[in-house]
Amino acid sequence: MPDHIDGSDRPDGPARPGKGRRRATRLRRPPRAVRRDLSQLLCAVAGLGLGLPAPLITGGPRVDAGRVVSVLFTLGFGVISLVSIIYSVLFLVVQFSASTFTPRLGLFRDEPVVWRTFAFTIGLFVFCITSGLAIGSRESVSTLVPSAAVLLTLVALALMRTLQMKAFDSIQLGHSLTAITVRARRLYDTLYPNPYDPTGAVPPPPVADAGADVRWTGPPAVLQNVDVPALLGAARARDSAVALRVAPGTTLSEGTVVARVTGDGVPASVLLGALTTGVERTFDQDPELPFRLLADIALRALSPAVNDPATAVEALDHLEALLVRLAGRDLDVGRFHDSTGRARVSVPVPGWDRYVRTAVDDVLFAAAGSPMALRRTRDLLRTLAERAPGDRRAVVLDRLRWVERTGGEAYPLVWTDGAG
């Protein structure tokens, strides 16, 4: 979520962005599952639209229609095996990542190339079968028809190769850690564009301190996205204010207080309709998720069953890079204003202390059994203590003192100061 969004009289989008305020167009994108279904439908319709007029093509040399029909049916049903391979690779890679890294890591499954390849093969199948049936019992047909089918098949094979390379990357530790970090950096650059200003660190009063509570009434679900422009428009239309009590990434259970509404009140149906839920957390608006994933990978590596401290060290390298990136950013981005400058919507967002705890605390105790991982954790905390602003160092120094004490007591032979 960007730091500020200008609302408008329209309930479906922001107005002109003012200084320091940006549009939140990424918040209005269709859900990922909807985009996947639409891509498959569009490719199927395109295949149908190209296949039906195939007999009408008259350009170029002509060949026997019976042979062309055989080729088209062979290619059409051949791509079914390609779709089967796509699903097999998807299943195996997702299973490998879940068992080796963390069950919450779905990077390969969410790769656009996976679903684009599937959608393209569906379109190719529809084109081949439709054009084959449309040709029917004609005596001859233009060579452009089989040529187009062969060309599209080559494109499908190229997509399949790209898919395989993505699958190979997804089962390698370095590529998975880098993919998490890249997505996190992209998200943080969107959410936290402004540098940290210690003089403005005092949080403003809540948007809606008193009012009516709106509770979750559905089955348990994970809050994935908040359509802030829709909430802004609804709040301004009713001269209300909405203070969400849950952040993206929170699991909602029946009776959970989702928001508090003041003024004339935004209807519960409108408020809940602005929330996108699912069965798992996503990167879209959940800035804490990258830290959770990297910490999970480190914890699994440090478990007695795996005992791979080198993997934990690599995960700590990426945790340090993300924490250093956030150390100098303004993290108070949860208040959203309409075009008049009045605060209408607030969303709880993680603060600096929360990020440090999520990234470090669980790993600290697990790393106590490994001098390699504990030393790397010490280096991480020392770097943060040097790079973080003064009023953000307390939470880091507390953990650094614990690490120094634990390491000195547990590993006096190898625990050197290392400051120089």
- pLDDT above 90 covers a percentage of the chain that reads 45
**Predicted confidence (pLDDT) per residue in 57-101, tens digit:** 877 788 888 888 899 999 988 888 877 777 787 778 877 777 788
Is the pLDDT confidence value at 211 over 50? yes
Take residue 341 and report the two structure tokens written for it: 């400058």
pLDDT at 343 over 90: no
Distance, in Å, from the CA atom of 420 to the CA atom of 303, rounded to the nearest integer, reads 31
* pLDDT single digits (tens) 263-305: 777 888 899 999 999 888 888 889 999 999 999 999 999 999 8
pLDDT of 18 above 50? no
Whether the pLDDT of residue 7 is over 90: the answer is no
H helical segments located in 103-172: 112-135, 144-170
Residue 319 has pLDDT above 90, yes or no: yes
pLDDT digits (tens, 9 = 90+) for 124-176: 999 999 998 888 778 888 888 889 999 999 999 898 888 888 888 888 888 89
Distance CA 398, CA 382 (A): 11
Q: Give the C-alpha distances (Å, rounded to integers) separating 402 from 258, 352, 396, 398, 408.
A: 37, 19, 10, 7, 10
Q: Which residues of 124-142 are buried (b: 16+ CB within 10 A; e: fewer)?
A: bbbbbbbbbebbeeeeebb
As a whole number of angstroms, the distance between CA 217 and CA 258 comes to 10
C-alpha triplet 216, 228, 259: angle, nearest 5°: 30
Its pTM stands at: 0.80
Per-residue pLDDT at 252: 94
**Which has more confidence, 92 or 35?**
92
Q: What is the mean pLDDT of residues 48-57?
A: 85
Residues 126, 48: contact at Cβ < 8 Å?
yes
At 109, is the pLDDT very low, low, confident or very high (cuts 50, 70, 90)? confident
What is the spatial distance between Cα 370 and Cα 126, in angstroms, rounded to a whole number? 57
Cα angle 96, 97, 102; round to 5: 130
The larger pLDDT score, comparing residue 203 to residue 329, is at 329
Q: How far is the CA of 250 from the CAs of 34, 147, 232, 247, in angstroms?
A: 22, 52, 21, 6
Residue ranges per domain, the chain? Answer: 1-17+205-420, 28-184
Nearest residue to 228 (alpha-carbon basis) of 271, 187, 186: 271
Q: Which pair of structure tokens corresponds to residue 85?
A: 């391979």
